[in-house]
């Protein structure tokens, strides 16, 4: 029975991430097709299944191009300011905007260094994995960060959330790890591993 249970869990660990990923992709594609496809079918008589998804992808790409124009960017920023003035809406919109901003900086390799933050737990030295999100506090309220301070995001395991701490630069140790690897390591409570050929994330953090 132990062999059966271990084998089943091993298979589940391999299959479940694939199933969840495929499900989320299908769910998002279906949502876009349902919302955009309904409008497209109303405007265009030559509608076919999947056209809504294609229009949504193309529209997002076009918006990205148009945002390079000063006038379009100004109108978009005006809309953002209006969104930030509406109660409740500003909370949701701001949170999603900040999250997408973080991941877009990550994709552009602008997100800062993965670090280990040195702390003490019950008098014992310990380290927490984090991601530097800000190194310059210029233009922000006084007292939020000193010149030699940085902001570090500390993700929490097995849930969406974490803490942002502002601390001196000398309280962290840089780690040679990508943002994706660090997030997987933190979210899975240190049980994830890097792609084959690079060893485990555990060994990477121990070197830091």
- Write the pLDDT tens digit of every residue in 148-185: 888 888 887 766 677 888 888 888 888 888 777 787 77
Q: Is the pLDDT of residue 206 over 50?
A: no
Q: What pLDDT is stored for residue 106 in this prediction? A: 53
- Mean pLDDT of the region 172-201: 68
* Average per-residue pLDDT for the chain: 75
Q: What pLDDT is stored for residue 195 in this prediction? A: 52
The per-residue pLDDT for range 29-42, each reduced to its tens digit, is 888 778 777 777 77
DSSP-assigned states of every residue in the chain: -HHHHHHHHHHHHHHHHHHHHHHHHHHHHHHHHHHHHHHHHHH-SS--TTHHHHHHHHHHHHHHHHTTSHHHHHHHHHHHHHHTTSTTHHHHHHHHHHHHHHHHHHHTT-S--EEEEEEEETTEEEEEEEEEEES--TTSPTTS--TTEEEEEEEPTTSS-EEEEEEEGGGEEE-S--HHHHHHHHHTTT--BPSTTS-BHHHHHHH-
């Amino acid at each position: 029975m132990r062999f059966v249970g271990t084998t089943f869990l091993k298979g589940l660990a391999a299959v479940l991430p694939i199933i969840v990923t495929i499900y989320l992709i299908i769910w998002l594609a279906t949502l876009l097709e349902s919302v955009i496809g309904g409008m497209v079918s109303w405007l265009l008589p030559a509608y076919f299944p999947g056209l809504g998804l294609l229009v949504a992808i193309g529209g997002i790409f076009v918006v990205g191009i148009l945002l390079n124009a000063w006038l379009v960017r100004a109108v978009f920023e005006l809309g953002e300011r209006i969104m930030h003035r509406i109660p409740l809406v500003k909370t949701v919109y701001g949170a999603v905007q900040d999250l997408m901003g973080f991941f877009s900086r990550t994709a552009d390799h602008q997100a800062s260094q993965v670090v280990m933050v040195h702390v003490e737990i019950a008098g014992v030295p310990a380290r927490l994995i984090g991601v530097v999100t800000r190194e310059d506090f210029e233009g922000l309220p006084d007292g939020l960060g000193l010149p030699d301070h940085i902001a570090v995001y500390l993700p929490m395991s097995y849930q969406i959330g974490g803490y942002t701490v502002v601390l001196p630069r000398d309280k962290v140790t840089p780690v040679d790890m990508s943002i994706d690897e660090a997030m997987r390591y933190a979210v899975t409570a240190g049980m994830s591993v890097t792609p084959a050929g690079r060893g485990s994330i555990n060994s990477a953090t121990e070197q830091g």
